[in-house]
Amino acid sequence: MTRRSSTLRTRKTVARPATPAKAIRTFRSTTRKAVEAGVQVAEGVRRSAFGAFDALVKQGAALEAKSRRVALARATGARDIACARAVEAKTKTVDAMTQLERVFEQRVSKAISRLGVPTTRDVRALTRQVAQLQASVEQLRRSRTRARAA
> In terms of C-beta density within 10 A (0-12 exposed, 13-18 middle, 19 or more buried), how is residue 75 classed?
exposed
In this structure, is residue 98 part of a structural domain?
A: yes
In this structure, is residue 8 part of a structural domain?
A: no
Residue pair 113/119 in contact (Cβ under 8 Å)? The answer is: yes
Torsion of CA 111, 114, 119, 123, to 10 degrees: -150
* Residue of 150 and 128 predicted with greater confidence: 128
Range of the domain at 101: 26-142
Euclidean distance between CA atoms 2 and 50, whole angstroms? 65
In this structure, is residue 21 part of a structural domain?
A: no
5-40 residue pLDDT tens: 555 555 555 556 568 888 888 888 898 888 888 888
What is residue 107's predicted lDDT score, i.e. its pLDDT?
Answer: 92
In this structure, is residue 55 part of a structural domain?
A: yes
DSSP secondary structure code for residue 66 in this structure: H
H runs (alpha helix) in 14-119: 20-115
DSSP secondary structure code for residue 15 in this structure: P
Q: What are the φ/ψ torsions at residue 15 (nearest 5 degrees)?
A: -65, 125
In this structure, is residue 12 part of a structural domain?
A: no
Q: How many domains does the chain have?
A: 1
In this structure, is residue 7 part of a structural domain?
A: no
pTM beyond cutoff 0.95: no
In this structure, is residue 37 part of a structural domain?
A: yes
In this structure, is residue 3 part of a structural domain?
A: no
42-72 residue pLDDT tens: 888 888 888 888 888 899 899 999 999 999 9
What is residue 11's predicted lDDT score, i.e. its pLDDT?
Answer: 57
Cα 8 from chain centre: 85
